[in-house]
Amino acid sequence: MARHGGGRSWYGKLAGAALGVTVLAVGASVWTAQADVVGGPSPQASASAAPGGDVEPVSADIAHASDQGPRGVNITIDDGPDPAWTPQVLDLLREHGVKATFCVTGTQAQAHPDLVKEVVAAGHRLCDHSVSHDTAMDRKSEAYQSREILDAERMITEASGGVRPLYYRAPGGAFTPYSRTLAASRGMRPLGWNVDTKDFERPGADAIVATVERELPNGPTLLFHDAGGDRSQTVEALRRVLPRLKEQGYSFGFPVR
């Protein structure tokens, strides 16, 4: 896996990183009681919550596998929500009966809370994709990483009406042992990917589909985008990919937690 646009390998760097990072004691000014309110119609709301508004920590290892097993596929959608493209992606997912994981940024969630609520109402899961999508987060201070992760968690939870994100995906894969441990302490499993469709570069729908078919043996988690510019190629590629994967006997699920 590589960073979006940067091409710099990060998975190998993380594989040897020590996990013995002190978990940040959340509860200071970065996190508010309002973000601990859980509600809404989705079962996701209670999935990461414990009695008293606490969250259940999860593994800090980066997730790739699908909860649907060896023939499972995880559709993940990054950088939104976007008023032009997210509704089209939601329509396609609904048409084919597919659930996906939406990795949303804090700024976009705050700007379009109605779309975040639509994502949740349709049964999809939320993922914290930081506040500002800074792909150099791993070179910034721990205080900065904390603000990006926890402020985004709060913004997304507020926009959704109380449904917390269940995962954390670092922008461009810029994970650190600290950021993974912090996210996991908040019940957000660090989320990687196996197939980078390169749709962000707009190579054409044919190329996006070909990348999925070529790289799916690498693993089940597919990376698409619903924001950051013209995503018409992504929409067209999903229109082809979703029924094709079904025909090949794949089941659509969520990343393991």
Using DSSP bridges, classify how beta strands 101-104 and 189-190 pair: parallel, antiparallel or unpaired.
unpaired
According to the model, what pLDDT value does residue 45 have?
33
Task: Compute the distance between CA of residue 249 and CA of residue 186 in angstroms, rounded to an integer.
Answer: 35
pLDDT, tens digit, for every residue of 113-157?
A: 999 999 999 999 999 999 999 999 999 999 999 999 999 999 999
In a domain, 181, yes or no: yes
**Quick check: helix, strand or coil at residue 223?**
strand
Looking at residue 199, its pLDDT comes to: 98
Helical spans, DSSP H, in 27-176: 44-47, 86-96, 106-111, 113-121, 142-160
Three-class DSSP category at 66? strand
4 given a catalytic annotation: no
Is 96 labeled as catalytic in the residue annotation? no
- 139 class by beta-carbon count within 10 Å (0-12 exposed, 13-18 middle, 19+ buried): exposed
Q: What is the CATH number of the domain that holds 84?
A: 3.20.20.370
Q: For residue 49, what pLDDT is reported?
A: 34
How far apart are the C-alpha atoms of 164 and 257, rounded to whole Å?
14
Residue type, 103: C
Task: Tell me, yes or no, whether 80 lies in a domain.
Answer: yes
Count: domains in the chain: 1
Nearest to 199 by CA among 171, 229, 234, 226: 234
Q: Which of 4, 36, 64, 78 is catalytic?
A: 78
User: Would residue 34 count as lying in a domain?
Assistant: no
Cα–Cα dist 169/180, whole Å: 9
* Boundaries of domain holding 210: 72-253
In a domain, 57, yes or no: no
The pTM is what? 0.81
pLDDT at position 54, please?
A: 79
Q: Show the CA angle centred on residue 105, arms to residues 103 and 108, nearest 5°.
A: 120
pLDDT tens sequence across 151-186? 999 999 999 999 999 999 999 999 999 999 999 999
The answer to whether position 242 is within a domain reads yes
Residue 15 inside a domain? The answer is no
Give a yes or no: residue 5 inside a domain: no
35 belongs to a structural domain: no
pLDDT, tens only, 47-94: 333 323 579 999 999 999 999 999 999 999 999 999 999 999 999 999
pLDDT in tens, 188-227: 999 999 999 999 999 999 999 999 999 999 999 999 999 9
Q: Of the listed 4, 129, 225, 226, which one is catalytic?
A: 225
Q: Is 58 left (phi over 0), alpha (psi -120 to 50) or beta?
A: beta
pLDDT of residue 238: 98
For residues 106 and 156, the answer to whether their CB atoms sit within 8 Å is yes
Give phi and psi for 43, each to the nearest 5: -65, -15
- Contact call for residues 98 and 75 (beta carbons, < 8 A): yes
